[in-house]
Amino acid sequence: MQERIPQQARPGLRYSLVRTAATEIPQLATLVIFAVNAVLLTVLVSLKAWHRRRMARTVARGEEYTMLLSRHLAYEHCTDPITSEMAEDPAFLDALIDLRNAVSGDEIATMREIVRRHGVIERQVARLEAPFPLGRRLRAAVALAEIGDETSAPVLLRHLDDREPEIRIQCARGLGRIRWTPAIDAIVGRFGIEIPWVRARFSDTLVGFGSKATWPLLAYIRINHRYESRGPALALRTLAQIQDDQAVAPLLEILAEATDLEVEIATIETLGELGSPEATPALESRLGSPQWELRAKSAGALGGIGDPASIPLLVEALRDGNWWVRRSAAAAIARIPGGIDTLYEALDDEDHFAADAAGEALTDAGELVSARRRVEGGVSEDDERLLAHMGTESRG
């Protein structure tokens, strides 16, 4: 029977094991790391190559689809088949949308017929209604925004409440594109609860509806301006872009009732953008407001309306204690017919702040450059005065 040798009695073996471990384990680890890296690299390169091939195939299919659809547009009775597999393909959808955006008139009707015959809208509706994946749902929403028709409107309307912001935006865009007027109230109604960037895109959609959105927006502002400011302020700016004169009288009522500074500012700006002389008295009275923001915005809006009768009050505003009000008043005067002459006169104002504001507005209006040019011909006293006031000389 072999005698068991205690561990303590075999120091050489222990040393040998330690030495082996010390030399071989790092080598082994290096080898393993190298192997893992090599495998990862191979996988990565293969994936990239696969992705590139896939993209190339998608592009090639897209080109084939564009040619196929072009033939359908160019030949009245084109017999080249469009199969259901093609209609399922995202590349087909992209080609369809690209062509749809390139043509108009009869060709749009042909595209609609292709879309209808191959159930493209129904397929996209089904994808949008599915709970996931997000990418496919988003693509469906974009497709419906581009090629959707009245049949897809109820689905788009429902998805204005979608959990995904971008899908909500695309649904609103689609409803705007097909001018689905029942959607206006729904879109306006979401102004108060939407996140800012979605709200801004909703505003763009409403502008597309034109004057049909005027009254829903006004109703929304009337109901909400006492309780919140951001939604009504954006609704007011949307009205400014729609440029519907019918909004002026209700806006004046809103301005009289408004207590929120942001709403007041947006109302004044909108009245200025609409440019109706009906708003002049209300805006002129706001030039005496204790709040400088309202004085400045009213001055700017009066410039937008452009009534020469406002010039005396705006000249008063040139002497305002607030720099921004003076600057706004001067810029407004420059926009009113005959205002440039008034600004030249204001260069001699006793209030040197007023004179400075006039000089800056004249410079912004391009008068300084013109003055230099004219002074080289030595023709105008006004030019000399402006150059002297702004501390520059003609470049003779």
Partner 1 sequence: MFEKQERTAPGPGAVYPLPLVTEKKRILVADDSKTIRTLLHTALESAGYEVDTAEDGPSAHELGRDGGYDLIILDQLMPGLLGLEVVERWRSESIETPVVMLTGVDDDRTAVESFDLGVVDYVRKPFRITELMARIRMRL
Name the CA radius of gyration of the chain, rounded. Answer: 35
Shortest separation between residue 204's beta carbon and partner 1, angstroms: 18
- Which residue, 69 or 144, has its beta carbon nearer to partner 1? 69
- Interacting residues with partner 1 between 98 and 127 (CB under 8 A): 98-99, 101-107
Helix (H) or strand (E) holding 60: helix 11-74
Among 95, 240, 334, 354, binds partner 1 (CB under 8 A): 95
Site string for partner 1, 121-160 (x = CB under 8 A): ----------------------------------------
CB of 106 to partner 1, least distance (A): 6
User: CA–CA separation, 58 vs 139, rounded Å?
Assistant: 16
- Of 8 and 79, nearer to partner 1 (C-beta) is 79
Binding residues with partner 1: total (CB under 8 A): 22
> Do 180 and 187 contact (CB within 8 A), yes or no?
no
Minimum distance from CB of 79 to partner 1 (Å)?
Answer: 8
76 binds partner 1 (CB under 8 A): yes
Distance separating alpha carbons of residues 273 and 276, to the nearest angstrom: 8
Look at residues 239, 236, 205 and name the one whose alpha carbon lies nearest to residue 221: 236
> What does each C-alpha distance from 363 to 77, 179, 343, 369, 371 come to in angstroms?
65, 45, 11, 8, 10
- Nearest distance in Å: CB 78, partner 1: 7
Type of residue found at 272: G
Q: Does 77 bind partner 1 (CB under 8 A)?
A: yes
Distance of closest approach, residue 149 Cβ to partner 1, in angstroms: 17
Task: Select 98 or 262, whichever has its Cβ closest to partner 1.
Answer: 98
Min CB(87)–partner 1 separation in Å: 18
User: CB of 170: closest distance to partner 1 in angstroms?
Assistant: 21
- 96-99 — which CB contacts under 8 Å span 24+ positions? 96/65, 96/69, 96/120, 96/147, 97/143, 97/146, 97/147, 98/66, 99/66, 99/69, 99/70, 99/73
| Residues numbered 51-70 forming contacts with partner 1, rule: CB under 8 A | 63, 66-67, 70
73 binds partner 1 (CB under 8 A): yes
161 SS3 class: helix
Verify binding: residue 85, partner 1, rule CB under 8 A: no
**Using rule CB under 8 A, residue 81 touches partner 1:** no
Distances (CA, A) of 387 to 46, 334, 345, 376: 71, 17, 14, 12
Give residues in contact with partner 1 (CB under 8 A).
63, 66-67, 70-71, 73-79, 95, 98-99, 101-107
